[in-house]
Amino acid sequence: MSASVHCRAQGSCHRGHVLLALLLAAMGPPQTRGEEPLRFVLADETEWGGAVPEDVRRVLRSAGTALLEPAAESELPPLEVRARGGPIVLHERGPEGVVRIRLNTGGNLWAQYAYQFSHELCHVLCRYDRDPTGHQWFEESLCELASLFVLRRMAERWASEPPYPNWRGYAVHLAAYADERIAAARLPEGMSLADWYRANRAELTTRATDRERNTVVAVALLPLFESCPGHWAAVTSLNEAMPTAPQPFRDHLADWRRRLPAERQATVDAIAAAFGETLPRE
């Protein structure tokens, strides 16, 4: 999820800052509550494999809206999105606090755009940071969950209200892209997520971005979030409590719950129950 960005020569940095300032100006002023929270620019409109930049923007905005609407989010930093170099969200921010997202896509692969962008956007929604707790795998799994959730939500929306009328047919491809990944990552028959977690806990802790295991967790949690999309509102507090040393997963969840308002704590309770964890009551 992170990458180091090396400093360039002073003149090059200055030109980059000027360009980014112009791009930020094009986005307009920061949004206030009740307005559209997703502000982004394409860092280079020529690198998208022949895709029309406005088409790319419409796909990314559709994906972002599908995640941010149920999260009731209105305070994200501005984003700069590139077609290559990822998929990743960089820890090192650009001028004015811009979050830099790198995808690995191009052309008219709209389902792939949505899948990658929503994963990285979820990291931003989680207020991502370097995680010393040993549970970065959980955030990665939530972000895989975001990708599946967004694709299915976009498929429903595009079937009736696509970005362009002639894109209505893409809805089935969005759904198929998600369904293929869901089918490949279902829990074995008769196995609960809690049982699976106990068997895979060590691998998750040592390999946070094991995509196969991340997706198993995502698929297991997907019905929970689809039945109550408002659960996404809780993820904005996931990284507010950041211990400086590893901790048990139960404590990680308890710290998250402790920093949520009462009306959002049920989200963590439901997730903890799925993993077979009982959280302490204060």
> Rounded to an integer, what distance in angstroms lies between the CA atom of residue 245 and that of residue 203?
18
Do 99 and 150 reside in the same domain of the chain?
no
Q: Give the model's pLDDT for residue 227.
A: 97
Calculate mean pLDDT across residues 76-84.
95
Q: Give the model's pLDDT for residue 95.
A: 87
pTM: 0.86
> Rounded to an integer, what distance in angstroms lies between the CA atom of residue 272 and that of residue 230?
17
Calculate mean pLDDT across residues 80-109.
94
CA 23 to chain CA centroid, nearest Å: 23
Assess if residue 261 is contained within a domain: yes
Assess if residue 13 is contained within a domain: no
User: From the CB of residue 140, how many other CB atoms can be counted at a distance below 10 Å?
Assistant: 26
Do 151 and 251 reside in the same domain of the chain?
yes
Q: Give the model's pLDDT for residue 3.
A: 36
List, for residues 212-261, the tens digit of each pLDDT value: 999 999 999 999 999 999 999 999 999 886 666 778 999 999 999 999 99
List, for residues 188-226, the tens digit of each pLDDT value: 999 999 999 999 999 999 999 999 999 999 999 999 999
Calculate mean pLDDT across residues 117-143.
90
Do 165 and 243 reside in the same domain of the chain?
yes
Assess if residue 142 is contained within a domain: yes
Overall number of domains in the chain? 2
Do 155 and 249 reside in the same domain of the chain?
yes
Domain of 158?
Answer: 136-274
- Start-to-end CA distance of the chain, whole Å, equals 34
Assess if residue 114 is contained within a domain: yes
Calculate mean pLDDT across residues 32-40.
66
Q: Give the model's pLDDT for residue 73.
A: 82
Do 105 and 142 reside in the same domain of the chain?
no
**CB burial readout 115-135, b (16+ within 10 A) else e:** bbbbbbbbbbbbebbebebbb
